[in-house]
Amino acid sequence: METLLNVENLCVGCAEFTIVKNVSFQVQKGQVVGIVGESGCGKSTMLKSIVDLSDNNVFVQGGQIQFNDLELTKLNEKKLRALRGAEICMIFQKPETALDPLIKVRDQFFECVKYHSKSRVSKDECYKKSKRLLEKLHFDNTDRVLNSYSFELSGGMNQRVALAMAMINEPQLILADEPTSALDVSVQSQVVRTMVELRENYGTSILMVTHNMNIVAQMVDVIGVMYGGRLVELGSKDEVLNYPMHPYTRALIDAIPQMDGSRPVGIDGVPPSFSKSIAGCPFSSRCGFLKNKCDNSLPPMAFITDRHWVLCHNEVAK
Ligand SMILES: Nc1ncnc2c1ncn2[C@@H]1O[C@H](COP(=O)(O)OP(=O)(O)OP(=O)(O)O)[C@@H](O)[C@H]1O
Ligand SMILES: [Mg+2]
């Protein structure tokens, strides 16, 4: 496998504190990686920093982000802009933020192509290409969609249009921030299916962040679990879902609603505040397996297999 994105020891934050702390993971070519964690754990902050779309007061404080052989933290704005929309595309939680309500869908496709395509493409060629892409995404009446404004389409349709738009220049990597959380469950699965197909048809790599373990279980190859700005467990989907090692990962899995009527189990307590520095494990105040040292020192990585690791004192001791 060939590495497309290599994030190493990434720290992101603002002048007062660090939000994302020493995060390391890789996305291989054609792979779908999902980062899960509860609201406020730093998922969007991490994702946006990859293509320098962070809020004004937030910046990369340390670490590397390598995309192919480019070091993204060192690229100037002009080069980054050329990369965004062409090689790396971002999909947001609310498709409305990606689509302009005042411009017809077909013209927005053309805007994307005009600014980012490697070669000159005519309006007519772009229309045909957009149509083919929308057909692949299971739209029936592609002419109608292309001639619509985004407010004339449903939320699920808009998200699939946003996906098609992200795909029009055949990027190598899609960064997706909660791409399905604004959608109802049946439309969620359509969007998930579409994303899985993108990988199958085009070999596109996807890095997705979400708080929804169910979505992750349906579509990713690798799961990273984030807590308090840190990755606390990383492994293949099967390893993490079948052999979760971090108490927080287990709690997240127990919190998945089941169809058998049993109540999902919540996680007591609240996440740590970013403005206070913590010497020990970020999960210690909520953990049921607490040891003395959990409060005092950050656990080192414990490798369960060569690709599955966890940040937990209990596992280090085994
Ligand atoms: N511009 C900012 N300035 C200061 N703090 C910020 C800024 N943006 C985010 N944060 C803080 O960073 C933390 C992580 O936020 P982030 O949006 O990355 O979380 P998230 O995991 O994406 O949450 P959600 O699932 O709700 O989208 C939060 O505590 C938030 O208050
Ligand atoms: Mg977010």
Dihedral sign (CA 163, 166, 169, 172): negative
* Ligand 2: centre distance to CA 44 (Å): 4
pTM of the model: 0.92
Domains defined for the chain, CATH in brackets: 3-87+171-317 (3.40.50.300), 95-170 (no CATH)
**Which residue's C-alpha comes closest to atom 14 of ligand 1?**
42
**Which residue's C-alpha comes closest to atom 26 of ligand 1?**
39
CA distance 127 to 121: 10
What tens digit of pLDDT does each residue of 79-117 get? 998 898 889 999 888 877 788 999 999 999 999 898 887
CA distance 132 to 142: 9
Residue with more model confidence, 293 or 290:
293
CA distance 6 to 28: 9
Ligand (nearest to CA of 273): 1
Choose from 45-49, 50-54, 111-115, 294-298 the range with maximum mean pLDDT: 45-49
Query: Which residue do the tokens 């607490």 mark?
Result: 290
* Ligand 2: centre distance to CA 92 (Å): 9
Query: Which residue do the tokens 């609603």 mark?
Result: 257
State whether the beta carbon of 13 lies less than 6 angstroms from ligand 1: no
> For every residue of 154-171, which 3-state class applies, written as one string?
CHHHHHHHHHHHHHCCCC
3-state secondary structure of 174: strand
CA distance 118 to 114: 9
pLDDT of 240 over the 80 cut = yes
**Which residue's C-alpha comes closest to atom 5 of ligand 1?**
14
**Which residue's C-alpha comes closest to atom 22 of ligand 1?**
44
Give the per-residue pLDDT at 316: 64
* Ligand 1: centre distance to CA 43 (Å): 8
Closest atom of ligand 1 to 38 CA is 25
* Ligand 1: centre distance to CA 178 (Å): 13
State whether the beta carbon of 314 lies less than 6 angstroms from ligand 1: no
Closest atom of ligand 1 to 41 CA is 21
What tens digit of pLDDT does each residue of 163-178 get? 899 888 889 999 999 9
